Amino acid sequence: MSNRRDAVHAVLRQSEGFRSAQDVYAEMRAEGAKIGLTTVYRALQALADTGHVDVLRTDDGESVYRACASGDHHHHLVCRTCGRTVEVAGPAVERWAEAIGSEHGFTEITHTVEVFGTCAVCSTAARPARTPSRA
Amino acid sequence: MSNRRDAVHAVLRQSEGFRSAQDVYAEMRAEGAKIGLTTVYRALQALADTGHVDVLRTDDGESVYRACASGDHHHHLVCRTCGRTVEVAGPAVERWAEAIGSEHGFTEITHTVEVFGTCAVCSTAARPARTPSRA
DNA sequence: ATGATTTTGACAACCATTTTCATTTGCGCG
DNA sequence: CGCGCAAATGAAAATGGTTGTCAAAATCAT
Ligand SMILES: [Zn+2]
Ligand SMILES: [Zn+2]
Ligand SMILES: [Zn+2]
Ligand SMILES: [Zn+2]
């Protein structure tokens, strides 16, 4: 059955941020699950295709997945340190993209919008004094 | 000198949309240029690092580069059929991203925003054009 | 010139993701 | 049960863009 798919979905549900296929696979194996990497990839694709999980590519070209609470169109505010993710709505951006597109004669407009930053937890955890990272 | 780098930059300058490294390499070789793929990759990276060209990843994970006219922060409206690209400013989006970020306690906010669509030319053309991009 | 330094590029190595394909599993039916 | 068939699974091989190697070639410095 889609026992495997559900298992993969479950891992995503209990994750705070986006996870990679390899990442999910590693955790499942560590938990003792008997599943192949190929199946994890297929489950993730299926979940993404059916809109059950969101996907985005990291800077290094890796696909990462997340089971978001909202089923509606939304974007993400992601902490680039710990991965903590906040689902955000951006009606203004939606309108802007649509407007910019038609303004230039484009149709069937879609867009990708992601916001990155350092969350409160991570910014306070960062060493205040001493050499503040590299400059 | 960075003769090679300039050559790569030149190819980008005379291109309308975003081009992949392999793509640029192929064109240069076709033009009779004596250059290696590795060098093209390095030139592209250097140009991107120095902010001389913009980079973005396609859906299939390929990095594509473009020598934009504007040196200021801007975004792109890209035709998903022919690659034609329009540089667009989005002050509203910039503000939105910043606001959303601080609203959730995030700092050092950055964002990625890309708009895709079908340009006027491509939407009227019933028949898909052969040679994608290039100008 | 001539040794030092940087740049180049053919080729191998990476590595996430996809394909293959043989095996296993789930399930309906006699 | 006993079969048969179709979907699911996963180990292993293939893919393909990108990066690492390293020796040869172009530049520079003295
Ligand atoms: Zn989401
Ligand atoms: Zn954080
Ligand atoms: Zn640009
Ligand atoms: Zn077009």
- Give the pLDDT confidence of A55-104 residue by residue, as tens digits: 999 988 999 999 999 999 999 999 998 999 999 998 999 999 999 999 99
Considering every ligand atom shown, identify the ligand nearest to the alpha carbon of residue B124 and give its number: 4
Q: For strand C, which nucleotides have at least one atom less than 7 Å from a protein CB?
A: 7-11, 16-20, 26-27
Q: Which residues sit opposite B64 in a β-bridge?
A: B20, B56
Residue B127 has pLDDT above 60, yes or no: no
pLDDT at A48 (0 to 100): 97
Residue B100 is classified by DSSP as H
Residues of B in contact with A112 (CB under 8 A): 112-114, 116
For B8-20, what is the HEC assignment? HHHHHHCCCCCEE
Higher pLDDT, A128 or B2: B2
Whether the Cβ atoms of residue A35 and residue A7 lie closer than 8 Å to each other: yes
Q: Burial code of B66-77, b = ≥16 C-beta within 10 A, e = fewer?
A: bbbeeeeeebbb
Residue A130 has pLDDT above 80, yes or no: no
Residues of B in contact with A109 (CB under 8 A): 115-117
Task: For residues B38-44, give the mean pLDDT.
Answer: 98
Helix, coil or strand: residue A13: helix
Interatomic CA distance for residues A37 and A28, integer angstroms: 10
Q: Which residues touch strand D (CB under 7 A)?
A: A 1-5, 34-39, 42-43, 61; B 1, 3, 20-22, 37-38, 41, 45, 61-63
Report CB contact under 8 Å: B101, A115: yes
Residue A134 has pLDDT above 50, yes or no: no
Which H helix or E strand runs over B40?
helix B37-49
Q: A125 pLDDT band (50/70/90 cuts)? A: confident
Strand C atom within 7 Å of B35 CB: yes
- Give the pLDDT confidence of A68-80 residue by residue, as tens digits: 999 999 999 999 9
- Give the pLDDT confidence of A9-62 residue by residue, as tens digits: 999 999 999 999 999 999 999 999 999 999 999 999 999 999 999 999 998 899
Interface check for B93 against chain A (CB to CB < 8 A): the answer is yes
Q: B3 pLDDT band (50/70/90 cuts)? A: confident
Q: Closest partner residue to A116 among B92, B111, B119, by Cβ? A: B111
- Give the pLDDT confidence of B96-108 residue by residue, as tens digits: 999 999 999 999 9
Whole-angstrom CA distances from A85 to A9, A71, A80, A114, B101 are 17, 15, 9, 11, 11
Residues of A in contact with B111 (CB under 8 A): 113-116
